């Protein structure tokens, strides 16, 4: 067994799309088909409005914030909740207090949550 760390100190600061206080730690990928990472958004953090390059599942594991998609409606999200965006869908995430989320992206994602 091996133990790995995926805290923000292992990640890369992202400023694209007007993002603020965003650090992304890559966890795994599978031949470009599937990518998993841990997103760390600090207080006042924003993942700027942009299009999803492929289907994306955003699983909040701590903290809270708001997300929006193409319909432009802000929806609250918190630990234990997930947002799902289709490929090409515009989306954004914001948080006042900070949040951490596992992000899974892949062309062949099959969502079982309801």
Domain spans of the chain?
Answer: 10-63+82-106
CATH class, domain 10-63+82-106, is mainly beta
User: Rounded to an integer, what is the distance from CA 44 to the centroid of its chain?
Assistant: 15
* Sign of the CA dihedral running 29, 92, 94, 23: positive
pTM of the model: 0.92
> How many Å apart are CA 96 and CA 66, to the nearest integer?
9
The mean pLDDT value for 88-106 works out to 97
- State the Cα–Cα distance between residues 108 and 58, nearest whole angstrom: 16
- pLDDT at position 8 is 95
Residues 47 and 92: beta-carbon distance below 8 Å: yes
CA 48 – CA 38 distance, rounded (Å): 17
């Amino acid at each position: 067994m091996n133990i790995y760390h995926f805290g923000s100190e292992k990640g890369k600061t992202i400023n694209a799309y007007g993002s603020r206080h965003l650090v992304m730690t890559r966890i795994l990928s599978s031949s470009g088909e599937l990518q998993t990472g841990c997103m760390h958004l600090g207080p006042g953090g924003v993942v700027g409005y942009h299009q999803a390059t492929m289907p994306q599942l955003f699983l909040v594991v701590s903290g809270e914030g708001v997300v929006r998609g193409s319909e432009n409606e802000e929806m609250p999200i918190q630990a234990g909740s997930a947002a799902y965006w289709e490929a090409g869908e515009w989306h954004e995430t914001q948080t006042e207090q900070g949040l951490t989320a596992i992000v899974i992206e892949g062309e062949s994602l099959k969502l079982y949550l309801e």
